[in-house]
Structure formats: structure tokens, C-alpha cells
Amino acid sequence: MEIGANKICVSNPEKTKSFVRCHRFFPSNHQRKMFGELLFILEIKLTNNHLNKSLNIAEEVFEIIINGLRTNYYRPGDLRSDNLEESFENALQKLNRLIHQESISSRDFENTIKNLNAVIGLSHDEKIYFTSVGSAQVFIIKKNKIVDLVSEEINPSTVRNFSQIISGNLEKNDVLFFSTSNFLDYFVFEKLCQIVNKLSGSEAAQKLTSLLKNLNDKISVGALLLKKENKKEMPEEMTIKKDNLANQNLEEKPVIKIEKNISYPNVLKIRVEEERGPEIQQLKIKEEKTLSLPIEKKEKDVVSVDKKPNQTPKIKFFSKIKISKLYLSFIKKIFSPKITKPLKIFSLILIIFIIVSFSILFIKNKNQEENTLKFFLSLQEIQKNNALLNAALNYNDQKTVDLLIKELKKQISSLQARTMIEKELLKNIKNDLEQNTDKIYGVIKINEPEIITNLSSLGKKDDLKKIVYLQNNNFIIINQVNNEVYLYNAKNKEFSLIIKNDFYINRAIKYDENNIFLVGETQIKNLNLINQKTKLLEIETQRKNFNITDAEIYENKLYILDTKNNQIFKYFKNDDGFDKELPWITENINLTNINSIIIDGSVYLLDKSGKILKFFLGKSQPIIFSDPYPPTIKPTKLLASASLAYLYLLEPDQKRILVYDKNGNLQKQFVSEEFKDLQDMVTNEDESIIFILNKNDLYKIELK
């Protein structure tokens, strides 16, 4: 005897706001024999006004529950046939973790799972294990009485965990139901008992389904009917013992008849005849298909053997006959002498086509199942890393966080989604990881940054430009191609040309409210904004190959970064310029790749790879700047000053501006697809706004 499971399911979510699925997972014969089969009754009450969206999320929930449990229960190495309840419990625990992770990462998923009512069962031989959540029902019809196995929750919890497992043996003539809470509303109890007690499980399910026919487009209801039935043996499992044949007489030809009626409309009968020769036994197989209605009672298999005394026939059974022999037998009949050659060729082509078609179909289905299993196994690994990521965040283990995010990105990029559900799952996983990554690394995405003005009229359209913020919404704009310097008033939206310089301006430094230093490769000019005149500043130096890579002013002292001489030189202000040149770096440091210097009391150097070095009184200081994600690629400018609380890093390649505190901790990242050609940045006096020069557009972003 074995327990048969048959489903009764009607789902009309559009009209009932209830989405129901009844599912039996059919494992391989070996898995089913050793570990049983999984059964699911799943219902979600839809509350969202956007029905299509709600249905998609509910479908996603169902797929995660079914495939998540299936993947974890039948997972190689985890199953123990000697303790199925423990294996079932472990699989449910992993499913609970998977549901929890999805709920954390998606608010829609969290809201949907709260409306889940479900029964998950495991059927193995004559044993049943099950667990339930919500208002789903489990009951037995026993001698015309109903025994409720789970109490319906009066105040259902919003937490959906499959925790308590109930198990037991189903007695003969008892009928077990896993169902939605409204199942019994549609049947008269006496009629229901009569149907399930009189008919087989499959027939009872068909009868109950037919009784719901008139309501099919108005209701949503589901049930799995479980009932003990005679075991349905597969042909490969049939055996005949020799001692059963010992007393049979053999007169002419030994004939073995194996007939098995399976309760389906198409019944397959197989006759095996054995012809004995002097030295050879030959098996002939005839296959005939007949149509018959399902039967109420299954007859016992009858085996009759006639044999001569003291002779035991050597019997080969259907399980050992290769399918190729069936094809060969069929081909021999086709290639009889009476058939013409063209017909032979056509018949051969037809046979080959049929064989290839079935082979392709089989391989395709097998590949689809393997791909689905592989997808959900990968999904399980992603959920594990998600859990580790949350733990690392709780312990402020930034190094582990960085590694796990990289690993998660790699895992997700390698996932191949083939079905619509898998594609939707993958899309949600990517979105969730992106949102979590943005939160962890302080990413602020700006779709449409506020534009102050366009500078394309200042020289040619593609000219590179620099900006300096003065005060009261006044800016200095420098065209680095034609060396023109403009004053721009953002309040009045007016441009005015101040001067046209005679050398390339690498950088402009604000000395005070009325004076700007224009820094070239070997010289520096002072631009007086009052009289709009320039003066070349004298810089006393002992170096013949005097070179300015970058420069900065701090407390009336000039600091020049000279990468050719691998040094920072310090100068003191006098009436005509700067003198008393002193080498400032006191250590052996390679400055070859440094491209920017900023001073706020300490000196910060930015190299071309994005690394930031800190110095104080000429000596390097230990500081670690936390790595952003993704890592920096060729940042071009570092912004800081004694009056600013933060350091700002301009990174054109990844269209972002990074904000650090002065201990090296990453605070924010401003990212925009509009940042296609970042050139410069400045802040206002109170550091509430950052101004960004992107190509010819001057943007502003609120910092506070």
C-alpha cells in the first residue's frame, strides 16, 4: 500500500483577490522511493490595488517556496533516508532563512508573505509529515467524521515561518486533506464523505473537481486529497521468483502474461512470449494499446506458466530489454521484401526523425530541470553571502563587507535566468544588491542635477575650463584653451571678460577676496579683481629646472609641488612675490605620480591611482582612507581647506564625487549619469553647496 496524492484546484485571482496553487513535486523514481515526494498548498490573499504587480510578486513567492524547499531537501549529501523528518526540518529551516532574506531586501515581498496561507507536506511510503502557516487547513475524514489536525489561527501572526512539523501514519480508508480555509464551504459534508469513501483517490478528486465546474470562474479554492491505495509498481520493479514456478507443467510453449491496469484512460498491455529452441531462447514483444475507463478495483497480476518437469525457463524481464531492440524489431517489419526501396528510405527517415525528436525533447526537458536546479542552488549561495554580509555590517568589518559585495556581484553576474520567473527573481536580486550597496557606501544618485548656467559661449564649445568660487554667488571661470578669465555673477546670470592671459593656466588659487593667483608651469601671476590687472610674482629659487606641478597657499605661504625634483618647496610672502625657498618634505618619498596638493594644516597629496597621502611638518602621517565601491579610477582633483570639514575627491571616470571626513572615512558619494565630463569643483563659504563644472554646465548640489 502507498499514499496517493490528488489535487483539486481552482484559482481566479482577478475576481477573488486570492491566488491559489496546488503542487506536487515529482522526483525521480529513486528519490521518491528513498525520500518521498513534496506536496504544497499555497494561497496568497492579494491586497495591492495593482493586481498584475501583486500577481507577479505572489508568483515569485510561490516559486521561491517550491524551488527553495525542493533544492534544499533533495540536495545531494544532505539527505538521510534513516531520518527523513530531520532532513525535512533542515530544509524548512533553510527555506525560512531564504524567505527572511527576501523579506529584508524587498518591501513588496515582505508585505506579500504576510498574506500567505500554506501547507507543505512530505509523503513517504505510508508516513506523512507536514507543517502549516496562516489559515490553511489540514483535516482527516475518518468514518464519516472530520478530525481537524491544525487549529485555524484566530489572530494570525504576520511572521511566516514553517516551524512545527506534525507526522503520522495514515490508516486504511482514512482520507487526509491539505486545503485552503474555504474548501469545506463548497461541499455538503455527507456527500463529501460518500465520494471519498467510495471512490479511489484519483476518482474522488475528479468527482470533486467536476462538482466545482459551475463555479470555476467565480472562486479560488485548493486541496490535496491523500488516500492509501494499492502500490502502483512500475514495470521495472516487477519480479517473479523461481519457487513460484516450481510446480507448473510445461507442455508446448511457455507463455508468460503480464497484464497491469493503471488507472489512466490509456492502458498499456504487454505480452511476453518465449520460444525455446535447441540452444536459443528468443523473446518476442507485442505492444497493444487499448482504451478503457478508470477501474475501481485493481486486479492482482496473474502469472501463469506451463513447463515440462525439471525445466526452469530462463526469464528476461521488461526492465532488461533495451529500447533499441524494440526499434530493430519494428524496422525489420518495415523492411520486408514486399516493400519497395523508396518506401524503405522514407520509412527510415521517418523513424530517425521520430527518434531524434523524442531524444531532443527528453534532453531539453532534462536540461531545463538541471538549469532550474542550478539557478536555485546559486540563489542559495547568494543568500548565504547576504547573511554573512549582514553579520559583517553589524561588526563593522569593512574589509569583509568589501570582499562579500565583490563576491555577490560576481555571483549575480554569473547567474543565467531562462524562465520569466527566474528573470524577475534575478532582476529583483540585482536591484536589492544595488540598493544595499548604495546604502553601505553612502551613494546618492542624482537623476537631474540643478544647473546654474551653461558656459559654452565662453570660447569654443569643447574648451577645458576651471572655476574658483569667490563669494556671494560670484565665480571666476578660466578657459584653459584660450587662457581667458571671466567673472560670472550667478544672481544676475552675467558674464564679463576680465583678461586674456599670456600663458597656460594650470590652476587658479584664491588668495583673498580681491586677488586670484594664476598658476602656470613655471610662473605665477596675481590677478587683482578690483582694477582687473595682473602682476607677475617673483619666486626666488636655486633650482635651474624650476617646475610647478601644482601649488597651494596656506597662511601667506606658498607651497609648490615639483614632481620633477621629487619635493614640495615652501616660500614666504614678500612685497613682490615669494622668497626663502625651503624643501618641505623631510623623508624619502616618491612623488612622481602625484598630481594634486591641498593644505588644511596638514598636506594632502593625490596620486594618479587615487591614493591619498597625508603629511604634517614634512613627515608622512598614518591614515587609511576607506575604499569606495567600486574602487576609484584616476581621480583628478582633491578639494580641502582649513575652513572645510570634509575632503572632496573628483572622479570623472565613474561620474562621481566622493566625500570623506578628515579621518579617512567615506561619508557620501554623489553619482549622476549627467556627470559625463567632470572638470572641476568648489564649495561655498559654509560648505552647504558644492558647485560642479561638467563640460560646459555648472551644476550645484545641496550638501546639507
Site of grid cell 617673483: 538
Whole-angstrom distance, CA of residue 206 vs CA of residue 224: 12
pTM of the shown model:
0.52
Cis peptide before 630 (omega within 30 of 0): yes
CB of 34 within 8 A of CB of 16? no
User: In the prediction, which pLDDT does 318 show?
Assistant: 31
SS3 502: coil
User: In the prediction, which pLDDT does 290 show?
Assistant: 32
What is the maximum span of the chain, computed from C-alpha positions, in angstroms?
A: 134
Query: What strand order describes the sheet that includes 221-229?
Result: 2-10, 221-229, 175-179, 137-142, 145-148
- Cell digits for 85? 523528518
- Strands 175-179 and 137-142: what pairing? antiparallel
Residues, the chain, total?
A: 704
User: In the prediction, which pLDDT does 204 show?
Assistant: 92
Q: Is the dihedral of CA 89, 91, 93, 96 positive or negative?
A: negative
β-partners of residue 603 are: 599, 615
CA-based radius of gyration for the chain: 41
User: In the prediction, which pLDDT does 79 show?
Assistant: 57
Q: Is the dihedral of CA 247, 252, 258, 261 positive or negative?
A: negative
Of the candidates 261, 270, 314, 253, the one whose C-alpha atom is nearest the C-alpha of residue 292 is 261
CATH code for residues 450-702: 2.120.10.30
User: In the prediction, which pLDDT does 255 show?
Assistant: 35
Which residue ranges make up each domain of the chain? 2-229, 240-316, 342-440, 450-702
- The torsion region of residue 296 among left (phi > 0), alpha (psi -120 to 50) and beta comes to alpha
pLDDT means over runs of 10, the chain (704 residues): 88 90 82 88 83 83 87 68 83 88 82 92 90 92 85 52 84 90 90 91 92 87 90 44 40 35 34 38 36 34 39 36 42 46 59 66 63 79 84 82 89 84 84 88 93 86 80 89 92 91 92 93 95 94 90 93 94 92 92 92 90 91 87 91 90 95 92 94 91 93 88
Site of grid cell 594644516: 601
User: In the prediction, which pLDDT does 424 show?
Assistant: 82
* 309 CB-contact burial (10 Å; exposed 0-12 / middle 13-18 / buried 19+): exposed
* Superfamily classification of domain 2-229: PPM-type phosphatase domain (3.60.40.10)
User: In the prediction, which pLDDT does 232 show?
Assistant: 56
CB of 110 within 8 A of CB of 103? yes
- Cβ neighbors of 422 (< 8 A, separation 6 or more) are 372, 375
Site of grid cell 497491469: 260
Measured at the CA of 310, the angle between CA 306 and CA 313, to 5 degrees, comes to 55
Site of grid cell 487549529: 151
Whole-angstrom distance, CA of residue 208 vs CA of residue 215: 12
Angle between helix axes 420-440 and 398-414 (nearest 10 degrees) is: 160
User: In the prediction, which pLDDT does 217 show?
Assistant: 84
DSSP 3-state percent helix, strand, coil across the chain (nearest 5): 30, 35, 35
User: In the prediction, which pLDDT does 385 show?
Assistant: 85
User: In the prediction, which pLDDT does 231 show?
Assistant: 67
